[in-house]
Amino acid sequence: MAMGNSNSPFMSDINVTPLVDVMLVLLIIFMVTAPMMMQGVNVSLPQTTPKPLTAEKDHLTVTVDRSQQIYINDYKVALEALQEKMKKILEGHPDQKVYLRADKSVPYGVVVRVISEVKNAGVERLGMVTEPLKETAKRR
């Protein structure tokens, strides 16, 4: 049997079928386990008494009241127009601090939508306004 013959029975191609099988099995394993890794960790957050912030003369406050009405300082704004109004207000002041006040009875989803609109308007520094704990709540 001659070694360089073109009629050689040996095949020089790599069989990729086992490689594809292993890759598909790995893909399925990662697809099943990925959602399990995305869940958060249960954490009991500490309650603290925040120190009051120093007041600025020309601060901008976005307020969401109990009836889910949105205000920029004292002017009522619709959620759909909030981003555009914020962009116009911040045109000359790109590093302006904005404070968000929301009633505790407002659903979390509404507050997140307001935060999203404010952030999409270009606000870099958004602060949350809270009230300190009452004495009876501290003792519990």
The pair of three-digit structure tokens given for residue 132, joined into one six-digit string: 């300190």
Backbone angles phi, psi at 18, to 5 degrees: -65, -35
**Residues facing residue 127 across a β-bridge:** 99
pLDDT of residue 22: 94
Q: Give the residue extent of every domain in the chain.
A: 60-132
pLDDT of residue 96: 80
Is the domain covering 60-132 a CATH 2.40.50.140 domain?
no
DSSP characters over 69-98: -EEETTEEE-HHHHHHHHHHHTTT-TT-EE
pLDDT of residue 41: 44
Rg (CA), the chain: 29
pLDDT of residue 45: 47
pLDDT of residue 48: 60
Q: Rounded to two decimals, what is the model's pTM?
A: 0.55
78's CB contacts (< 8 A; 6+ apart) are 70
In our burial notation (b when 16+ CB lie closer than 10 A, e otherwise), range 2-17 reads eeeeeeeeeeeeeeee
pLDDT of residue 24: 95
pLDDT of residue 129: 80
For the chain (140 residues), the mean pLDDT of every run of 10, in chain order, is 60 84 93 69 54 64 87 87 88 81 86 89 83 60
Lookup result for tokens 């109004």 = 85
